[in-house]
Amino acid sequence: MRVALVTGAGRGIGRAIARRLSAEGCRVALVARNREQLDETAAECAGQVHVIPADVTDADAAERVHGEVEQRWGPVEILVANAGAGHSARLERTTDADWQRMLDLNLTAPFRFVRRSVPSMRAAGWGRIVVMASTAARLGEPYIAAYTASKHGVLGLVRAAAAELARTGVTVNAVCPGYVDTPMTEQTIATIVATTGRSAAEARETLARKQPIGRLIQPDEVAEAVWFCVRSGAVTGQAIQVDGGAEQ
């Protein structure tokens, strides 16, 4: 029974990933800031779970979380660094604080969790690391400079780590969703409504049309891509697109 750790497990994509890993027989440590949301995720999981409230941007979070998992079940074998957030603003309205927040959450926190996972995975000769990136890790769009920079950075981290660990039995991949039907996308819709005067339905349709399939991606579809990365020992250093065909 593999030991998995999922950050950002309280809702949305993270919750779907936790459900999928649990259904596949993994023990799953659930990490997020909101204890109530974590408990809701735990109730939807099929097997053994352990709830660990934590802010992944804290400098000691990776050490504390991994230590708690190791004490309970042993070393983390599957890491899914999913916690993240977005930010939208014109370049000249993006503050230093906005910029730093995106880097701290979307790039530095995954780096710390990956770094903490590697020694035990390397020693065991097996490990799976999946980092949640975005289509913004590969493309640039207006008004999301800080978010895009952080996601480009995390894809670079994934590729470098995969190259370094290629002969160890440890794989490292990024999953790059388009617009997913999650609370984070609801925030994007609210921003569009506030800045353009469109209705929420119109804003949602605009995002849905960005995918050639004409709809938002479902969280379970992203979780399926994560599970593919876990199952495969030959796929590493990749950016797995889950974008409805947006990038060919």
Give the full edge-to-edge strand order of the sheet including 239-242: 49-53, 27-32, 3-7, 78-81, 127-132, 170-177, 239-242
How is residue 160 annotated by DSSP?
A: H
| Candidate list 147, 189, 208, 227, residue with the active-site label | 147
Distance CA(93)–CA(24), nearest Å, equals 45
Query: In 3-state terms, what secondary structure has residue 236?
Result: coil
Residue whose token pair is 């590697």: 118
- Burial status of residue 91 (CB atoms within 10 A of its CB: 0-12, 13-18, 19 or more): exposed
Distance CA(111)–CA(206), nearest Å, equals 33
Residue whose token pair is 């921003």: 191
Identify whether the C-beta of residue 31 lies closer than 8 Å to the C-beta of residue 15.
no
Identify the CA nearest to 50 among candidates 34, 63, 61, 39. 39
Active site residue 179: no
| Helices assigned H by DSSP within the chain | 12-23, 35-44, 61-72, 96-103, 109-124, 145-165, 183-196, 200-209, 219-231
Tell how far CA 189 is from the center of its chain. Answer: 20
Q: Which residues are catalytically annotated?
A: 147
